[in-house]
Structure 1
Amino acid sequence: MDSNFLKIQPRHLLLGFISLCLIQSLVFAYTPLDRIVAIVNEDVIMESELNNQLRISISQLRQEGRQEPTSSVFKRQVLNNLILTRIQLQLAARMGIKVTEDNLNRTISNIAAESRVSMEQFKEILKNDGYNYMQFRENIRNEIILTQLRKRQIENRINITEKEIDNFLSNQNSEDLFESEIRLSHILISLPNSATDEEISQTKKMALKVRDELLAGGDFSKIAATVSDGGNAKSGGDLGWRKEKDIPTIFTEYIPNMKLGDISELIQSPSGFHIIKIAELKDMEKNIVEQTRARHILVKTNQYTTDDYAREKLRQLKIRIINGDDFGLLAKGNSDDSMSAINGGELGWRTKGELVIEFQNTLDNLTINEISEPFKTQFGWHIAQVLERRDHDNSENLKRAKVRNVIGDRKLNEALQNWNTQLLDEAYVEYRLDDV
């Protein structure tokens, strides 16, 4: 099958974008008191930019309940991150890496959709959090550019062999990789620093009101995106998949008494009142997935083949199949998916979610042997037929995929460190702050 029909997996951009764009915030609030803190090749970093990033980073640490590093050390780390980001953006510009407005708009729309809010609501959330929307757009643009740069310079050169996966699996120390995991959603109603008893009481009332709304059936992701002060608020409060040992300690005593979908009681910490929900559970011992075996015929559109022509051609092919013509033979003679056409349009067994969403939704609504109406995806127009469905134990494939990711992450981190060191060595950097 043509790999184009596999779902294009979003790179951890959507859930990671908000925190990443904060880390490389490029807000130049120049004032008469502003000064240069670093020269980076032909560019400069201003003190206002450094101070802005320091405030953001400290706020994130507090929300995550982590201890703040020594002031001078932390300031140096933040400045070094800004310098490295600037060097990478300069390299991307020299390489001609750009982001189209359509791509940028689509990415921001996806971020809002992940938070389950409309674009207008998303803009309002940004405004309430003190972020200018146009600055946010530029941060996202820069993050897309950096992602493309790293992919071109690093990720595309990383290779993982089946032998490496086999060796990893044969290592007894790999067993903890396959422990059961839990996915938590989180809301934080934060307390001000040195909160008074009255402020604690009022904040608790607010948190109880939020919890009551959740218990009444409110959408956790939407509520988190609207009211949570946590660093993951804009991703709907999603804390991601975690093993038991990686769960924040303030939550560990509550989780054993919770079931899938449960909303916790209020959990108080120095940073505020927390509410958690068990969003998903993953048992690594057995992973049963729904699979569908299907076939299709594709007609691609271009300057000569219009949507109307493609749709009508497929409608006529469907009529011929219903009247007795062989689907496989018609696929071989008419489908523009050359990889599947030679197999009569067969796509093989596909796990739910593996195909692009329009294709998957169409298959989900078909009964066995039913032929769809013509439908459109990003690849063109299709008709599809479901041949079989089954529940499949995908544990082994899941294990190998997880190991592949672990090995890939290790290689990527090592390659990134070497690359960053090389970039810094080749750049002209001059520090202008005495205390860093």
Structure 2
Amino acid sequence: MNKLFASPLLAGLIAGGLLFGGAVHAQDVQPIDRIAAIVDEDVILKTELDRAVANILAQYAGRSEQLPPRDVLEKQVLERLILLKIQVAQAQGTGVRVTDQEIDQAIGGIAQSNKISVEQLRQQLARDGSSYTDFRASIRDELLVQRLRQRFAQTRVSVSDAEVDAALAAQANTGTQYHLAHILVALPEGATAEQIATAQKKVDGVKALIDKGEMDFNAAAVRYSDSPNALEGGDLGWRNGDEIPAAFSDLMKQMKPGQITAPLRGPSGFQLLKLVEVRDASQSAPQMVTQYHARHILVRVSDQVSEAQAKAKAETLRARIAGGAKFEDVVKESSEDLGTQNKGGDLGWFMKDEFGPEFGGAVTSLADNDISQPIHTSAGYHIIQRLGTRESDVADQSKRAQVQETIGRRKLEEEWNRFLREKRGEAYVDFRVGKGSEGNQPGTETTLPTAKPAGS
């Protein structure tokens, strides 16, 4: 089977085995299909679970020995599907919406990244036994979850200038980044002494397997880790020193690539950390880019204002400016970008795609002081006036932005995982397949069955 390489938009879907899993809602249930689990008012069908598991098996073709037993794998994948349903429901319940046009744009991007047309993508899906309708539903769900996570980040996560300054100072002293992987043996909040002892025994057994050479770290993560990234071998990617808890960071400085820590107790349970690689990121080469200075007027699309109405309003505002009205006066009276309304719509200096490809494309096509026709983006309709351009070295600015992003990402991971645990605990989940179906209760999370490591 030919594999499709997705854009970053769908990294989570592919990693979770969900790309062709489909999104089946209660009203779509067919009597001939079995139900794998009920999640609040939604369901996961057995065929949906089987497709997601098959996708994982295809990813591990030739390395199936790294996967846990079939029943354990099914439980891991089912938990991912459950979390996806919970997140989609949360997004829809809080007013997050995705339009058909946005889904089409995302699919077009996936096709382009695979260097095929959308029609060829449809044909590929058909050859793989997947329906285009289910594929679109998967894209929709991923976009909903992305927007929910973005909204969550905006309301729950903030990074101060002082935090960025401190991180830059620390990075200037060391300049070291660490590529890490981990294995998590999770503990519930308020774990009992017996639960702690069981988890300690399990993590010790996993460490013994690795030390004896009976299993490599990635395979052990796939088989035994309770982390959401278990099926990716526990890979945590590159982390700056400030992104790692101080106690762990001190350990990293003493380790060599390939080494693994002894079991470490953290807020989520016991962990094994592996140092994969180390690199020096202290030096910043000049980074020359073209920056643009522009101002804009925004007319938003909403439940009360259709796209046609927003476009018509934007065209009227553009006609007023062409007729002699001052741009800044129209901004003050009519722009719906509250962040720039009191600044005459001024966006300051920015790089081409900072506000999205449609906005950037419009700005680059203008001459200085020219005013665009209404431009459509995901935010609504914009009237843009380009004020100037310059060549600028943004190495320091880029580095600061990267540090701010990494600190924010770390905070978001912590808050988001806590949020998901809360929502998972509150959800009614009724398992209809596997061992979890023997003792279903609302608001409880079934512990994943785990093969007992040798030596545990």
Aligned-partner Cα distance in 2 for 1:363–1:92: 32
Give a deviation string over 1:389-417, Cα, whole Å, max 9, x none.
22x22122212211222222222221222
Partner residue, 1:14: 9
2:22 aligned to which of 23, 26, 43: 26
**Superposed displacement of residue 91, structure 1:** 3.9
Using a 3 Å threshold, how does the CA distance of structure 1 residues 149 and 334 change in structure 2: closer, same or farther? closer
> Bigger relative contact order, structure 1 or 2, given CA contacts below 8 A and separation 6+?
1
Using a 3 Å threshold, how does the CA distance of structure 1 residues 358 and 409 change in structure 2: closer, same or farther? closer
Q: TM-score with structure 1 length normalisation?
A: 0.56
Partner residue, 1:135: 134
Question: Which letter maps to 2:374?
Answer: K
Cα pair 1:123 1:133 within 8 Å, conserved:
yes
Partner residue, 2:422: 422
Between stretches 406-415 and 58-67, larger displacement belongs to: 58-67
User: Secondary structure of 2:175's partner?
Assistant: helix
Give a deviation string over 1:275-324, Cα, whole Å, max 9, x none.
xxxxxxx996224232345455759696796666555555565xxxxxxx
User: Secondary structure of 2:60's partner?
Assistant: helix
Aligned-partner Cα distance in 2 for 1:55–1:304: 45
Give a deviation string over 1:317-369, Cα, whole Å, max 9, x none.
5xxxxxxxxxxx954455566977877876543333334545544554566xx
Partner residue, 2:386: 384
Aligned-partner Cα distance in 2 for 1:42–1:160: 37
Question: Which letter maps to 1:372?
Answer: D
User: Secondary structure of 1:112's partner?
Assistant: helix
Cα pair 1:30 1:48 within 8 Å, conserved:
no
Aligned-partner Cα distance in 2 for 1:127–1:58: 19
Using a 3 Å threshold, how does the CA distance of structure 1 residues 135 and 170 change in structure 2: closer, same or farther? same
**Superposed displacement of residue 114, structure 1:** 4.3
Cα pair 2:174 2:282 within 8 Å, conserved:
no
Percent identity (aligned)? 26
Question: Which letter maps to 2:162?
Answer: K
RMSD: 4.4
Q: Which runs of 5+ in 2 are unaligned?
A: 1-6, 180-236, 240-280, 301-308, 437-448, 450-456
Question: Which letter maps to 1:433?
Answer: G
Partner residue, 1:401: 401
Matches within 5 A, 1:266-277: none
**Superposed displacement of residue 157, structure 1:** 0.8
Partner residue, 1:69: 68
Aligned-partner Cα distance in 1 for 2:39–2:97: 21
Count residues with an aligned counterpart.
Answer: 310
Aligned-partner Cα distance in 2 for 1:341–1:414: 34
Partner residue, 2:185: none
Aligned-partner Cα distance in 1 for 2:55–2:151: 29
Using a 3 Å threshold, how does the CA distance of structure 1 residues 122 and 335 change in structure 2: closer, same or farther? same
**Superposed displacement of residue 134, structure 1:** 0.5
Give a deviation string over 1:160-202, Cα, whole Å, max 9, x none.
11222222223358623499xxxxxxxxxxxxxxxxxxxxxxx
Matches within 5 A, 1:198-347: 285-295=284-294, 310=317, 312-315=319-322, 330-333=326-329, 347=347
Partner residue, 1:353: 353
Q: Which runs of 5+ in 1 are unaligned?
A: 1-11, 180-240, 244-281, 318-328
Using a 3 Å threshold, how does the CA distance of structure 1 residues 66 and 288 change in structure 2: closer, same or farther? farther
Give a deviation string over 1:42-81, Cα, whole Å, max 9, x none.
5544433322221111212349999323434323211222
Aligned-partner Cα distance in 1 for 2:428–2:315: 57
Matches within 5 A, 1:115-154: 115-153=114-152
Question: Which letter maps to 2:155?
Answer: N
2:373 aligned to which of 375, 392, 410: 375
Aligned-partner Cα distance in 2 for 1:409–1:66: 33
